[in-house]
């Protein structure tokens, strides 16, 4: 499973990238707001760090304006994936932009039917939002499972990009289901390294090592 980082924080992206943990980046208007930076400028900087797809989201709501915004965003760098919402207008924009050879990430997906439409419109990525479904007491991971079955049934090449990931558990479950990509905030990716038995075991090893009186360096 590829790891995308769901942030517009360049320092956090750089840190994870140096560890080989970043296959791509996703941003959205809320993350741009959080960064406090200009969308074109920050997206360009992210694209200079990351080789893989960097999603930049349109904010227009009608298809023609989405297409125009998408073309402008795609002009930032070769590795831009234009992010459009899963509305009828977004699907139209997806079809036009993919026909032009651009990567498109269809976002705000909350149902298997929406994912089916995005694949028919040629989306490069479909972004089902796990956490926001969980927030409503609907199993977000079940949606990832359903989309996996549907895409595999018909050989759709659209990649399932599990989004709105809130916990390390979401990451391993998405990987078990076979999501192609998961996008998570930096703190969730870091939380994947944590285990209380690791901490406990390390504390014991260090205590015993101290007693040997030895040094490695
Ligand atoms: O980038 C979209 C998505 O990952 C948003 O996550 O936590 O705001 O639901 P969240």
pLDDT in tens, 124-182: 999 999 999 999 999 999 999 999 999 999 999 999 999 999 999 999 999 999 999 99
Q: pLDDT for 81-136, tens place per residue?
A: 999 999 999 999 999 999 999 999 999 999 999 999 999 999 999 999 999 999 99
Question: What was the pLDDT predicted at 63?
Answer: 98
Question: What was the pLDDT predicted at 150?
Answer: 98
The structure's pTM equals 0.96
Q: pLDDT for 22-69, tens place per residue?
A: 999 999 999 999 999 999 999 999 999 999 999 999 999 999 999 999
Give the up-direction half-sphere exposure of residue 135: CA atoms within 13 A in the CB hemisphere. Answer: 9
The residue from 34, 44, 72, 83 that is catalytic is 83
Question: What was the pLDDT predicted at 184?
Answer: 98
Sign of CA dihedral 12, 17, 22, 25: positive
> Angle at the Cα of 71 (from 28 to 148), degrees rounded to 5?
55
Tell me if 57 sits within 8 A of 76, measured CB to CB: no
CA distance linking residue 216 with residue 172, whole number of Å: 36
CA 89 remoteness from chain centre = 22
Question: What was the pLDDT predicted at 36?
Answer: 98
Question: What was the pLDDT predicted at 7?
Answer: 98
> Angle at the Cα of 160 (from 8 to 97), degrees rounded to 5?
70
Sorted by where each begins, the domain ranges of the chain are: 2-212
| DSSP sequence for 131-168 | HHHHTTTS-HHHHHHHHHHHHHHHT--PEEEEBS--SH
CATH (one of 3.20.20.70, 3.30.1240.10, 3.40.50.1220, 1.20.1730.10) for 2-212 = 3.20.20.70
Under the banding of pLDDT at 50, 70 and 90, the label for residue 73 is very high
CA distance linking residue 200 with residue 196, whole number of Å: 6
CA distance linking residue 126 with residue 142, whole number of Å: 15
> What residues line ligand 1, using a CB cutoff of 6 Å?
6, 26, 28, 129, 131-132, 163-164, 183
Give the up-direction half-sphere exposure of residue 164: CA atoms within 13 A in the CB hemisphere. Answer: 19
Ligand 1 pocket check: which of 29, 163, 171, 182 to mutate, most ligand atoms within 8 Å of Cβ? 163
C-alpha of residue 6 to centroid of ligand 1, in Å: 7
Question: What was the pLDDT predicted at 68?
Answer: 98
Label residues 42-75 b or e (16+ Cβ within 10 Å = b). bbebbbeebebbbbbbbebeebeebbebbeebbe
Best CA proximity match to 85, nearest among 112, 66, 98: 66
Ligand 1 atom with the shortest distance to the CA of 28: 1
Tally of CB atoms within 10 A around 89: 17
CA distance linking residue 160 with residue 16, whole number of Å: 22
Using only the alpha carbons of the chain, give its radius of gyration: 20
Question: What was the pLDDT predicted at 189?
Answer: 97
């Amino acid at each position: 499973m590829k790891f995308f980082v769901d942030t517009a924080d360049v320092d956090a992206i750089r840190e994870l990238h140096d560890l080989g943990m970043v296959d791509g980046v996703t941003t959205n208007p809320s993350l741009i707001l959080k960064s406090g930076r200009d969308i074109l400028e920050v997206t360009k900087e992210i694209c200079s760090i990351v080789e893989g797809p960097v999603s930049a989201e349109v904010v227009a709501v009608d298809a023609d304006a989405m297409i125009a915004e998408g073309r402008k965003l795609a002009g930032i760098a070769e590795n831009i994936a234009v992010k459009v919402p899963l509305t009828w207008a977004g699907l139209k924009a997806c079809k036009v932009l993919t026909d032009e050879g651009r990567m498109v990430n269809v976002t705000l997906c909350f149902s298997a039917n929406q994912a089916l439409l995005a694949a028919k419109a040629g989306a490069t990525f479909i972004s089902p939002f796990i956490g926001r479904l969980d927030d409503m007491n609907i199993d977000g991971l079940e949606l990832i499972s359903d989309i996996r079955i549907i895409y595999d049934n018909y050989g759709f090449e659209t990649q399932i990009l599990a989004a709105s990931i809130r916990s390390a558990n979401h990451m391993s479950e998405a990987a078990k289901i076979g999501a192609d990509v998961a996008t998570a905030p930096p703190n969730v990716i870091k939380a994947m390294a944590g285990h209380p038995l690791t901490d406990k075991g390390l504390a014991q090893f260090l205590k015993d090592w101290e007693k040997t009186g030895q040094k490695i360096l």
